[in-house]
Chain A
Amino acid sequence: MDNLPKIIAFACNWCSYAGADLAGVSRIQYPPSTRVIRVMCSGRVSPMFILEALRAGADGVLVTGCHPGDCHYISGNEKAVHNIELARSLLALLGIEPERLRLEWISAAEGARFAQVVKEFTEQIRQLGANELQAAGDRQP
């Protein structure tokens, strides 16, 4: 992983992706570790996507969505909580550190918070070291 981990970040279109944009508009600097995938809702992030990211070699997966009560689709973020819990239990079965997966609520107004979350999570993953699945060379196309 060199010194900079690679993180797949899912951001919901309505809140968190907008928050990430605001960090940019505000020129708040954060580590270039994330590769953002825009989804319409955090509730779209299937546990399969998370497993696929870790299998493909990501060192961490960040899922971001609207704060509770703010979901554009009424309850998608509640579904995300459930999906992330499910993914976490799968990670435990596979012997992957659960700290490699993180769920955060970031509103469209929270540019600084998006940057802060990326900073903290990058540092956390750095401490954990490279993803074992990747280190074991278990890469598949």
Chain B
Amino acid sequence: MRQAKDRAEETDESPRIGVFICHCGHNIAGYLDVPALVESARALPGVVWAGDHLFTCSDAGLAEIRAAIARHRLNRVVVASCTPRTHEPLFQAACEEAGLNRYLFELVNIRDQCSWVHMNDRELATAKARDLIRMGVARAALLEPLSEAELPVQPEAAIIGGGMAGMTAALSLARRGFAVTLIEREPELGGILRHLDRLYPTMVDARELVARRVAEVREQANIEVLTSATVQAVKGYIGNYELTVRSRQFGPEMELPVRAGVIIVATGAQEFKPFGLFGYGDDPRVLTQQELERLLAESNLPSPISNLVMIQCVGARDETHPYCGRICCLTAMKNAMRLKERDPHTEVYLLYRDIEVHGTHFEDYYAQARDLGVIFTRYTPDAPPQVADGRVLVYDELLGMRLSIPYDLLVLSTPPVPAAGARELARLLKVPVDEYGFFLEAHVKLRPLDFATDGIYLCGSAHWPAHLDEAISQALGAAARATTILSREQVRSSGAVARVEESLCRGCERCAQACEFGAIEFVELERAGVLYRPGPSLGQKIARVNPVLCKGCGACAVVCPTGALQASHFTSRQVTTMIQAAMGH
């Protein structure tokens, strides 16, 4: 093992640590006694050189790090400056250029978490920075060089869900020259738009729009479409996923392997069917918005309709679905306007709790609906509308009156809920869903289109009810994110992953139970037991970590009763040493 050999070679040497303390202009030096910090750093065990710099991240600062590594034969570098979240890669690269493994670098945060938050107490802030540097140096002495596996990338994408979001992402990638397999559960592409009439706020024809997009997909040579198809299994990792897809596209059900370097989830959402509410399911005059829209699109509505009542927030913002459905206000307004256009004599009542329209376009749309004569009536959740004998009884908040409205049709606005099978797909992909079953991104702001699992992305209403323009933007974004992987020949996995000290492993499998990523498997010990005495015997099952699947969270190291599982770069020894250093030991 190259990795093991490297580690042995480099750690046999005693630590020669260089400490670089950054002024960050005035940001650090203005609030901390930097010369005193340099003095105390010089006295720390293992430190052979310490100095300060106006801006360590400048070209001159980085050059000084590289020069010092050579001049003082440094085998560990500590920079005390800002946050590793922004600057660690930069300093690591400088170390690497000077021939030092990037994992032998430690960044101590004396700005964001010290000088900037203790601006009024120079003495105590300097004392804290001194502790932080002592902790960083103590950890640095125990850092080990780690190696990163290089993985080839299969330049193909699998996109799950053939609605507008999935098709848009597929086209975007295909036009950049990548092969795409588009997997759709229904017999036809198009998703929810196939059943819609018009699209707010432009009132373009939904089915025309989607038909055009389907045609583009069908004409695109780089896209292979699998319909009537569901994902059955997912194996592999970033660059090399392998999906098993079951399809009835060609008649009899068959299982097809799909290889992909990246996966995009675009499974959309579906309308909640409110059985048991307001007579839905019993009274044929009670419909959902989508059912009404389908009748509008197919011109199958009964004529004439003199009274139509819509109720908003049915099954939404309550215990079952505490969230706002987001698209329902605009959908109701759209269908109400279509009804008014179709027959101005139709009275349309829209009973709402709150109107959620944002931005200028949608606010205008609301005004248009009012101008067309749609009657908006506000109710409160403690006095919800009631249905009896073909009439809706509702207490109008604003009028302070109880109204009794007869209806020919009663239309219920219900929130989108995750597509059927979303939870099962999440389980196969090992990606999270939120409490309602919508797919959950890696970070709401920093990585809104990524999953925490590398090489898997999401877009559209699979994530959260999205307006069509948002779904399309997200699809283009997810395709761009996917391209950052597909355009490379290789990706590097992190070196900071779990490892097993085989001589300590008893094969209890607690680590594997704690691992969310399936990164630990148990293999029979093949080498003779004499290697480890006392230790596991020949044929005993011991843990082995797949460094490509491991995310380095360290959960396995916590549950391991013998210390066989160690989280590299965050080993128990490294953490414990920092604790002791913090206390001045």
B553 lies within 8 A of A36 (CB) = no
Whole-angstrom CA separation of A52 from B583 in the bound complex: 11
Q: Taking A29-B117, A35-B135 as contacts, is the C-beta distance between A21 and B579 under 8 angstroms?
A: no
* A18 located at the interface, meaning its Cβ lies under 8 Å from any Cβ of chain B in the complex: yes
Contacts A35-B132, A40-B554; A29 near B118 (Cβ below 8 A): yes
| A75 adjacent to B516 (CB under 8 Å) | yes
Partner of B558, one of A14, A74, A79: A79
Q: Give the interface segment out of A43-51, A88-96, A97-105.
A: A43-51
Q: Which residues of A contact B131 (CB under 8 A)?
A: 35
A21-B444 Cα distance, complex, nearest whole Å: 17
**Is the CB–CB distance between B516 and A73 below 8 Å?**
yes
Question: Is A37 a contact of B135 with CB atoms below 8 Å?
Answer: yes
Question: Which of B107-115, B275-283, B331-339, B538-546 has 4 or more CB atoms under 8 Å from chain A?
Answer: B107-115
Q: In the complex the two chains form, is A20's CB within 8 Å of B112's CB? A: yes
**Is B121 located at the chain interface by the 8 A CB criterion?**
yes
A139 CB, min distance to chain B CBs, angstroms: 7
Chain B residues with CB under 8 Å of A21's CB are 83, 85, 109, 112-113
Asked if B125 is at the interface (CB within 8 A of a chain A CB), the reply is yes
Q: Does B303 contact A (CB under 8 A)?
A: no
Say yes or no: is A126 at the interface (Cβ < 8 Å to chain B). Answer: no
- Decide: A44 near B579, CB < 8 A? Known: A20-B113, A35-B128, A75-B516: no
Docked pose: A55 CA to B114 CA in angstroms: 25
Tally of A interface residues using CB under 8 Å: 51
Binds A, one of B171-179, B484-492, B569-577: B569-577
Q: Mark B437-474, 1 if CB is under 8 A from A, else 0.
A: 00010111110000010000000000000000000000
Closest approach, in angstroms, between the C-beta of B46 and any C-beta of chain A? 16
Q: Are A52 and B551 in contact (CB under 8 A)?
A: no
Alpha-carbon separation in the docked complex, A25 to B85 (Å) = 13
B127→A74 contact, CB < 8 A = no
Does B372 interact with chain A (Cβ within 8 Å)? Answer: no
Report yes or no: A139 in contact with B112, Cβ–Cβ below 8 A. Answer: no
Instruction: For B558, list chain A residues within 8 Å (CB).
Output: 43-46, 79, 83
The reply to whether A36 and B109 contact each other, CB–CB distance below 8 Å, is yes
Shortest C-beta distance, B550 to chain A (Å), equals 11
A76 touches B124 (CB 8 A): no
Query: Judging by beta carbons under 8 Å apart, are B85 and A52 in contact?
Result: no
| Binary contact readout A63-78 vs B (1 if CB under 8 angstroms, 0 otherwise) | 0000001111111100
B15 on the A face (CB < 8 A)? no
Q: Out of B118, B579, B584, name the residue touching A49 (CB < 8 Å).
A: B579
Asked if B579 and A6 make an inter-chain contact with CB atoms under 8 angstroms apart, the answer reads no
Q: Give the shortest distance, in Å, between B173 (CB) and chain A (any CB).
A: 26
Q: In the complex the two chains form, what is the Cα distance from A41 to B116 in whole Å?
A: 25
Q: A27–B119 contact, CB under 8 A?
A: yes
Question: A38 vs B578: C-alpha distance in the bound complex, in angstroms?
Answer: 10
A residues 3-53 touching B (CB-CB < 8 Å): 4, 6, 8, 13-14, 17-18, 20-21, 23-25, 27-32, 35-41, 43-46, 48-49, 52-53
Interface centre among A23, A44, A75 (most CB of B within 10 A): A44
A57 on the B face (CB < 8 A): yes
Chain A residues near B121: list those with CB within 8 A: 32
A137 contacts partner chain B, Cβ-Cβ < 8 Å: no
Cβ B570 vs Cβ A18 within 8 A: no
Q: Are A27 and B124 in contact (CB under 8 A)?
A: no
Distance between Cα atoms of A69 and B439 in the complex (Å): 11
User: Which residue of A has the minimal Cβ distance to B118?
Assistant: A32
Query: Is A109 an interface residue when CB atoms closer than 8 A count as contact?
Result: yes
B582 in the interface (beta carbon within 8 A): yes
A125 interfacial contact with B, CB 8 Å: no
Bound form: Cα–Cα A109–B443 in Å: 11
Q: How far is the CA of A43 from the CA of B555 in the complex (A)?
A: 6
Report the nearest A residue to B441, measured CB to CB. A70
Whether A58 sits at the interface, judged by CB under 8 Å, is yes
In the complex, the chain B residue whose C-beta lies closest to that of A141 is B585
A141 with B117, Cβ < 8 A, contacts A36-B109, A72-B442, A74-B516 known: no
A43-B553, A49-B575 given as contacts; is B585 within 8 A of A72 (CB)?
no
Minimum distance in angstroms from A46 CB to a CB of chain B: 5
A118 CB to closest chain B CB (Å) equals 9
Whether B557 contacts A108 by the Cβ 8 Å rule is no
Most buried by A among B119, B552, B555: B555
CB–CB A56/B579 < 8 A: yes
Determine if A28 and B117 form an interchain contact, defined as CB atoms under 8 angstroms apart.
yes
In the assembled complex, which residues on chain B have CB atoms less than 8 Å from the CB atom of A75? Answer: 516
| Structural contact, B117 and A41, CB atoms closer than 8 A | no
- A25 in contact with B112 (CB, 8 Å): yes
Q: Is the CB of B452 within 8 A of A8?
A: no
Cβ–Cβ < 8 Å partners of A29 in chain B: 117-120
| Known contacts A38-B84, A40-B554, A49-B579; is-contact A56 B114 (Cβ 8 Å) | no
Contact A73–B553 (Cβ < 8 Å): yes
Contact (Cβ within 8 A) A24 B112: yes
Q: Tell me if A58 and B583 are in contact (CB < 8 A).
A: yes
Contacts of B582 in A (CB 8 A): 6, 8, 35, 37, 53, 56, 58
Q: Whole-angstrom distance between the alpha carbons of A48 and B111 in the complex?
A: 29
Q: Which of A8, A30, A109 contacts B579 (CB 8 A)?
A: A8
Do A32 and B114 contact each other (CB < 8 Å), given the known contacts A73-B551, A139-B585, A141-B585?
yes
Are B580 and A74 neighbours in the complex by a CB distance under 8 Å? no
Q: Can you list 29 A-B pairs with a CB-CB distance of less than 8 A?
A: A4-B124, A17-B83, A24-B114, A24-B116, A24-B117, A25-B116, A27-B116, A29-B117, A30-B118, A31-B118, A32-B127, A32-B128, A41-B554, A43-B555, A44-B554, A46-B558, A48-B572, A52-B576, A52-B579, A56-B583, A57-B583, A58-B579, A69-B435, A70-B440, A73-B452, A73-B516, A76-B555, A79-B514, A79-B555
Top 7 A-B pairs ranked by shortest CB distance? A24-B112, A44-B554, A24-B116, A73-B553, A35-B582, A41-B553, A56-B583
User: 13 extra interchain contacts, Cβ-Cβ under 8 A, other than A8-B582, A18-B85?
Assistant: A21-B109, A23-B117, A35-B132, A36-B132, A38-B84, A39-B570, A40-B567, A48-B576, A69-B435, A70-B444, A73-B551, A75-B516, A108-B446
